[in-house]
Amino acid sequence: MSRTSKSPRMVARQAMIVAGRTLPSYFSRFSRHDFTPAQLFACLVLKSFFRTDYRGIVAILADCVELRQELGLAKVPHFTTLQKAQRRLLEFGPAQQLLDVTVRHALGERPRVELAAGDSTGIDASQISPYFIKRRSHKHKTPQVTTYTRYPKLELLCDCSTHIILSAIPTIGPRGDSDRMMPLLLPPLSRGVGIDCALFDAGYDSERNHRSARQGWHVRSVIPAAIGRPLKDPDATLPTGRWRRLMRRRRDSRYGQRWQVECVISMIKRRLGGYVLARSMPSRHREMMLKVLTHNIMILLCCVARVSTEQR
């Protein structure tokens, strides 16, 4: 199992390296040039690392001289500066470029992934205590539960061997996953990341998904053919599609590694929190992408340390 770095200084240093390979020195030559985009991105990564808000990370930077020296900050940025930086740096385009840099830094300039696994998970929209939810009703003996008409949802595609996230899409739930397989596979494939085999659960079961992955992009998709009404006759339960019929007849032993994406989701929720603090849905999407980038940076440190130790 992969490990995540617990050192804030190392995380800040690696975030500066990742941002330096993607972001410009300054967005405008007419700005005050107090902070570079790389410094602001590293501050946002530390905000996610410490599981705090904008005011909280400003207070941490004001107290920790070593962190400011690591980031090269002459002064601590205002919390509104970080809020505006997150709105600009974590849009879809810049966030995808930062994610691509972390993938190539971990897997090489020509990355090749033997096994990739995809899944989606719901994210809490508040920090409400489960104990409070259970005990808030005094009239009924049964404990109450929270229900959401819609909630933040994060879709992930990760490398099973390193737990590096290859693709991430923040969206709104609840919704089905049968049409979400190719949106997860296309970004890394279009950026030159080779994927030999992709593992998905039965929620992504679709003949069109198999046909697009296998015939269009030469990716071996493995999905249990579990959608459909079961019949008494075993032969009659076989799907009509070519690839779904193959999934029902032959079981690929590599499908047992699909739990690796569940491990990645657990790592994000345990280390970075399974909730978002933002109020609006676009801000929640940016916060979820920040969790993904922070996870890759924390994994990246341990990957680089392990490779350097093996070489010595």
CB atoms within 10 A of CB 85: 20
Domain that holds residue 30: 8-89
pLDDT at 29: 82
pLDDT at 211: 94
pLDDT at 142: 63
pLDDT at 101: 95
Q: Tell me, yes or no, whether 140 and 239 share the same domain.
A: yes
Q: Tell me, yes or no, whether 164 and 240 share the same domain.
A: yes
User: How many domains in the chain?
Assistant: 2
Q: Tell me, yes or no, whether 196 and 52 share the same domain.
A: no
Q: Tell me, yes or no, whether 44 and 115 share the same domain.
A: no
pLDDT at 238: 74
Q: Tell me, yes or no, whether 186 and 240 share the same domain.
A: yes
Q: Tell me, yes or no, whether 253 and 150 share the same domain.
A: yes
Q: Tell me, yes or no, whether 59 and 169 share the same domain.
A: no
pLDDT at 137: 56
Q: Tell me, yes or no, whether 210 and 160 share the same domain.
A: yes
Q: Is residue 210 part of a domain?
A: yes
Residue ranges for the chain with pLDDT beneath 70: 1-2, 129-148, 227-237, 303-312
Can you give the CATH number for the domain in which 212 is found? 3.30.420
Q: Is residue 32 part of a domain?
A: yes
Q: Tell me, yes or no, whether 120 and 47 share the same domain.
A: no
Which residue from 289, 299, 301, 302 is spatially nearest to 44, judged by alpha carbons? Answer: 289
Q: Is residue 181 part of a domain?
A: yes
Q: Tell me, yes or no, whether 191 and 239 share the same domain.
A: yes
Q: Tell me, yes or no, whether 129 and 222 share the same domain.
A: yes
pLDDT at 40: 96
pLDDT at 133: 62
Q: Tell me, yes or no, whether 61 and 206 share the same domain.
A: no
